[in-house]
Structure 1
């Protein structure tokens, strides 16, 4: 049972602030300002208390409802006091109310067949302030994040419609996977696009088409990460191997930041033509700029321009726009995106573990596919099979953190998961050894003794350990897997800093490795 937001806020308070805007312009003494600041801090504390209560409720803790009700009572007291306090910024308190109303609708959405979307939020605004049109209008303005700006940046045509058809038929599973993966990483990626003035739908569309939201995705051509940067392009925007060997193309925040910077660069070059900018993202910035200049600024859909891009790019552009369009208008197409526990949280490992082990012991409560993708996307530095030391803090969601505390810090399920991930297939093979005497080596006499003993067999020279580079491998990943130092491996294999680049199929000598 989740806590529920009260149906009506103290409407008299909202009416006063909306009907008397001149009150905010009155002179405020230093004493009044201090008192008003105290109320603002009380509201912030109550808001945090309410959010913590939602987490408790989501994890099945009965305290969640009690705590949420107490937090809401605190907020009501603050609003009442704010009405009486000269200089109290009621608009700030209204913004807090707005955030909590949105959180309540998100929570309630778990019980609906469809995502309520913007319409439900605006209906809630209207129901809450039906008798105060000014308050409803203010709430709507606070909620207007210009989320449909993308609609005005592209052309909706039959090519986009064909892309929507594909996403909603045989590619629907990839669309849903993309949405779930994106929601978990949204707090890392979306702010980077927002800071650079780019619409969120564009971020989702590119990520869905490029990687389905899998941060470790690698293409045949060598593009990597959730936004699929090639090594050279990535280096231009600060992506690539760091001192530990980790390739930051796999980091969601860094990849989003670089992607937004790259797109803005394309938009500046191409007269803000979104379709051509996407064509440059996929088909090469040089080609896009050359075509743009030769055509005199004609758009992507003109036959003289469209025909100069490869088939892959002609498919890429409408598919990105189609995914973005569905993201903005799900109800129009009968799409109900899954409810995702996306509240960020962390947990500290009580004992060494791998992501494989954690995936098993966490189970799949609330998620059909379990939490391996969530852990990998939020902790891209760790390979799934690598052992992570005790005391390491991992990024997760509130649900994953709660499941870890319940099942994975010790106990029967933890032991079972450890047994499964360490199981060795070779241990299942039974050797049927025949009994009897077997002579080993040559028999030579010892001086002064009639007895004979077998001559020692020379020890076989240990074979040098190697690793064949697989698709997506980096030197840092190989070092992490086998317990080596990156610089030691680089020196043993003649690889030069800072890239330490390896190629698929290359044999790497595993010198100085502990595993």
Structure 2
């Protein structure tokens, strides 16, 4: 079946290309190269150095058996690349897609790493989609476009064509469980996310469609190429739209902030692509630089024309109609014999009356009021910054659906289930759960977040970051003076004010 679909897709692309007189040729050579400013060039060079250092540190041969030094080095490279990405967002002409591609490579996804000069595609976390989808094999309807006009409902301007209809069938068959899960998850998150889209003048259905394709409504979704959160932002793109690290928390996992950033991205790109929604959705997946080049080479073509559609990766050709189809079902389930479950998503605040973790709450709350999955996913989604297995003190406020406030009092405070949950969790704290359980419930990105101060104080080695002085490092690790740190590392007095970035320092003298 896969080979058949690939053949159909190839035949469709060839036929369309023949009708259009062949695909537009990409410029090559010096004439086609865009000049960059010295500031941008410096950031690109810095990124290349960081990536080189990162992979060198991950190579066991580099630091022999000094695991602490290797870890400090690749953490430094990752964090420096994040800093450079943040500067890129403020530098005219700097392409953040280059940083996203580098983060994808450093995250260990060789297949997602794109050639130099190309953008990294944002991978979706939804299962059973992608290259095996029949959507990519559907011959697009040439000359039709879907536009988003401010102030109009999506249903007023959206046109159903072949690929979108194929995607509709997929959502209603093999992907139906994903669609229903997304719906249920979204109902509890809606009060956080929809107002951000509403303020931006964008239709809620598109927010739902992107979420259905990208994460299935799982706040902590993390792809192998480094994209994270409900809407799967890459690190550099997230930085560009205000999603950074705050107190060790990656804000790409924050539902409200992610929706705000996504809305800002869409409005920015709608202005660039003259309100052509299909082109913007394609840019979100396949890279805005790629789509802008294709649009420039074929200014009068619609997304479905071969000058555009046939030049896109299979993933992007699949991605656009799948997002549109999910959005359409969000608006018109009754037209396709689809019934979304009724969810009471009214928001509430639960104040803990005694010490407990999110995992304990999920056990004692049970599945009352929830169709089949219980409340663990919802508790995690609404409290994204909280480690679900970390006990929280009494009086901690938690975001919950309103119905859980009374259920908590009934089951967890006065009922027997609170004791059962506490007994199970005591065993968890005493004996860490199997790796399979951890990976299923606490999925963390391969590269570490910025090093916390507490962790830094315990580290035997430290890699000097750009702009740091020996005195500042000494203060950070509790040394008596910079001189003490210099002596421990063989640094001469005359060189104390000029410690080069990237140097590995032994800081054990400060932590004894």
Q: Indicate the TM-score class for this superposition, using the shorter chain for normalisation.
A: 0.5 to 0.7
Report the secondary structure of 1:345's partner residue: strand
Q: What does residue range 100-115 of structure 1 map to in structure 2 within 5 Å?
A: none
Tell me which residue corresponds to 2:445: 472
Distance in 1 (CA, whole Å) between partners of 2:396 and 2:428 is 26
Pair 403,412 (structure 1): closer, same or farther in 2 beyond 3 Å? same
The Cα shift of 1:295 comes to: 0.7
Tell me which residue corresponds to 2:423: 419
Distance in 1 (CA, whole Å) between partners of 2:464 and 2:330 is 44
Pair 201,425 (structure 1): closer, same or farther in 2 beyond 3 Å? closer
Q: Is structure 2 residue 342 aligned with structure 1 residue 339?
A: yes
Deviations 1:376-402 (A, max 9, x none): 111000122222222210000111111
Q: How many residues align?
A: 310
Q: Is structure 2 residue 329 aligned with structure 1 residue 356?
A: no
Deviations 1:78-126 (A, max 9, x none): xxxxxxxxxxxxxxxxxxxxxxxxxxxxxxxxxxxxxxxxxxxxxxxxx
Tell me which residue corresponds to 1:115: none
Distance in 2 (CA, whole Å) between partners of 1:490 and 1:371 is 38
Pair 292,152 (structure 1): closer, same or farther in 2 beyond 3 Å? farther
Q: Is structure 2 residue 388 aligned with structure 1 residue 397?
A: no
Report the secondary structure of 2:307's partner residue: helix
Tell me which residue corresponds to 1:485: 454
The structure 2 residue matched to 1:250, chosen from 230, 248, 253, is 253
Q: Is structure 2 residue 306 aligned with structure 1 residue 303?
A: yes
Tell me which residue corresponds to 1:197: 201
The structure 2 residue matched to 1:281, chosen from 281, 284, 293, is 284
The Cα shift of 1:292 comes to: 0.8
Distance in 2 (CA, whole Å) between partners of 1:373 and 1:180 is 10
Tell me which residue corresponds to 1:100: none
Distance in 2 (CA, whole Å) between partners of 1:238 and 1:172 is 33
Q: Is structure 2 residue 267 aligned with structure 1 residue 264?
A: yes
The Cα shift of 1:355 comes to: 1.2
Q: What does residue range 92-241 of structure 1 map to in structure 2 within 5 Å?
A: 149-241=153-245
Pair 305,495 (structure 1): closer, same or farther in 2 beyond 3 Å? farther
Distance in 1 (CA, whole Å) between partners of 2:211 and 2:428 is 37
Report the secondary structure of 1:327's partner residue: helix
The Cα shift of 1:412 comes to: 2.3
The Cα shift of 1:485 comes to: 3.3
Greater RCO, CA 8 A, separation 6+:
2
The Cα shift of 1:473 comes to: 5.8
Deviations 1:434-460 (A, max 9, x none): xxxxxxxxxxxxxxxxxxxxxxxxxxx
The Cα shift of 1:150 comes to: 1.2
RMSD over aligned CA atoms reads 2.9
Tell me which residue corresponds to 2:88: none
Deviations 1:255-304 (A, max 9, x none): 00000000111111111110010000000010011111111141111112
**TM-score, structure 2 as length reference:** 0.57
Report the secondary structure of 1:254's partner residue: helix
Report the secondary structure of 1:485's partner residue: helix
- Contact map agreement 1:357 1:418 (CA 8 A) in 2: yes
Please list every run of 5 or more consecutive structure 1 residues that lacks an aligned counterpart in the other structure: 1-145, 428-468, 499-510
Pair 487,345 (structure 1): closer, same or farther in 2 beyond 3 Å? farther
Q: What does residue range 431-446 of structure 1 map to in structure 2 within 5 Å?
A: none
Q: What does residue range 306-317 of structure 1 map to in structure 2 within 5 Å?
A: 306-317=309-320
Distance in 2 (CA, whole Å) between partners of 1:164 and 1:407 is 41
Pair 196,490 (structure 1): closer, same or farther in 2 beyond 3 Å? farther
- Contact map agreement 2:294 2:307 (CA 8 A) in 1: no
Please list every run of 5 or more consecutive structure 2 residues that lacks an aligned counterpart in the other structure: 1-149, 432-441, 468-507
Pair 349,470 (structure 1): closer, same or farther in 2 beyond 3 Å? closer
Deviations 1:164-190 (A, max 9, x none): 100000110000000011110101100
Greater C-alpha Rg: 1
Pair 426,379 (structure 1): closer, same or farther in 2 beyond 3 Å? closer
- Contact map agreement 2:243 2:257 (CA 8 A) in 1: yes
Distance in 2 (CA, whole Å) between partners of 1:302 and 1:387 is 56
Distance in 2 (CA, whole Å) between partners of 1:365 and 1:409 is 16
Q: What does residue range 446-465 of structure 1 map to in structure 2 within 5 Å?
A: none
